[in-house]
């Protein structure tokens, strides 16, 4: 269904959205989307750093408990 939209269809959709919401509302919305993407990238980076630090951690599980799941 979405494969047949094409460039004219996308332009029409963009114009309709611009008319309905106005330039200011779309601008603020895109700013919030940008902040969300930045926060997501920071979270992924922090998670990767945490995983790398965990890989270097020593296993302190007692030998008797290692076989239990």
For the stretch 12-39, pLDDT in tens is 998 998 888 888 888 888 899 999 999 9
Over 80: is that where the pLDDT of 69 sits?
no
In-domain check, residue 17: no
Distance CA 34, CA 61 (A): 43
In-domain check, residue 14: no
- The overall average pLDDT reported for the chain is 83
Q: What pLDDT shows up at residue 53?
A: 73
In-domain check, residue 65: no
Which structural domain range is residue 41 located in? 23-51
In-domain check, residue 34: yes
Token representation of residue 21: 């919401």
In-domain check, residue 18: no
In-domain check, residue 33: yes
Roughly how many angstroms between the first and final C-alpha of the chain, as a whole number? 48
The 8 Å CB, 24+ separation contacts for 30-34 are none
């Amino acid at each position: 269904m979405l494969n047949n939209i094409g460039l004219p269809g996308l332009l029409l959709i963009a114009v309709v959205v611009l008319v309905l919401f106005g330039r200011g509302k779309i601008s603020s919305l895109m700013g919030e989307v940008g902040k969300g993407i930045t926060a997501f990238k920071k979270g992924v980076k922090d998670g990767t750093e945490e995983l790398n630090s965990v890989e270097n951690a020593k296993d302190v599980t007692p030998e008797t408990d290692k076989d239990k799941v």
